Amino acid sequence: MAIVTTHELTQQFGATTALDRLSLEIPAGAVYGFIGPNGAGKTTTMRILTTLLRPTGGEAHVAGYEVTRDPAAVRAAVGFMPDSFGVYEGLRAWEYLDFFGRSFRVAAKRRVALVDELLELVGLAHKRDAPVMSLSRGMQQRLSLARAMIHDPQLLILDEPASGLDPRARIELRELLKELGAMGKTIMISSHILTELAEMCSHIAIIERGRLLVAGPVERIMRSVQAHRVLDIRIVGDGAAALAWLRAQPAVRAAELMPGDAPDRDTLTADFDGDDQAQVALVRGLVAAGIGVLSISEARNNLEEIFMRITEAAP
């Protein structure tokens, strides 16, 4: 089931086309990475999905509601974390959340408990009474995320949440988002820093110059970019003999030997054009040939490599 669908979504700003007939689906429960360089159309898409911008053409549905026809229902279903932190000066952390809880008409009794629950979730319980403007950038981002969840939305839309954070704050935010994903929240998260998304996304979409280049589950996209497997095989024994055996196998397109960290330990890298069963047979063959297999793993492209390959191939 898709919680977000867009069809031919288009946005013009004068003569500039910010979105060019964008059609995508975000499945419920997905952690959806929305990837593209600055100016690709990520923020424009998110502003449309959160009813902050009316599209020039096409349609967008969130939780079954069309964004232009039923904006109030869409806002109830979405928690939005923009790329900049805005707040009324003088508020303490709990007052900030309480203010937005009142805005979303969360019942008073529930709101008191909810503020403390969210502060605990984002690791700010100890900053409950601290002035918001005294918090570090990373803490403000986490507080902003708590604010986005104050009305228990079905979908969280996060626009460049790691922007401006130091390495420690990025790690803390990434772990928090992974925890939310494990809790079953649907999360749409944009970034041009691909390493921020690599470990947490189940699905990705790559957008450039307002056009969708590719979208779908991460595993499927990786397979489309790298149709065959690259196997890293750590062995004990005669590396040269193992390499010769490996190169003789019909499903091995190419193989190389990488010296290991000990005299009798090496790593074989094989470009393997076979399925799971063929890989099982390959390992059995290595063992039957007297080669001591310590481990075998499948090397994968990272998101940066995927992005570069897909955008280089785009017209």
The predicted structure's pLDDT at residue 38: 82
Cα–Cα distances (Å) from 242 to 53, 262, 278, 291, in that order, read 61, 16, 18, 7
Q: How far apart are CA 265 and CA 238, in angstroms?
A: 8
The predicted structure's pLDDT at residue 196: 63
**What domains does the chain contain, in order, with CATH numbers?**
2-224 (3.40.50.300), 227-299 (3.30.70.260)
The pLDDT of 196-203, averaged and rounded, is 76
pLDDT tens digit sequence for 223-280: 666 656 788 888 888 888 888 898 999 888 888 887 766 667 788 888 888 888 888 8
pLDDT of residue 150 exceeding 90: yes
Q: Is the pTM of this model over 0.85?
A: no
Q: How far apart are CA 149 and CA 134, in angstroms?
A: 22
The predicted structure's pLDDT at residue 286: 87
pLDDT of residue 40 exceeding 70: yes
Residue 120 or residue 198, greater confidence: 120
Instruction: Give the rounded percent of residues in the chain with a pLDDT score beyond 70.
Output: 88
Strand partners, 267: 234, 258
CB atoms within 10 A of CB 119: 20
Q: Which two tokens stand for residue 288?
A: 């039957």
pLDDT of residue 306 exceeding 90: no
Cβ atoms of 227 and 272 within 8 Å: the answer is no
Query: H helices within 104-249, ranges in order?
Result: 108-121, 137-148, 167-182, 218-225, 239-247
Helix/strand/coil for 186: strand
pLDDT tens digit sequence for 118-140: 999 888 999 999 999 899 888 88
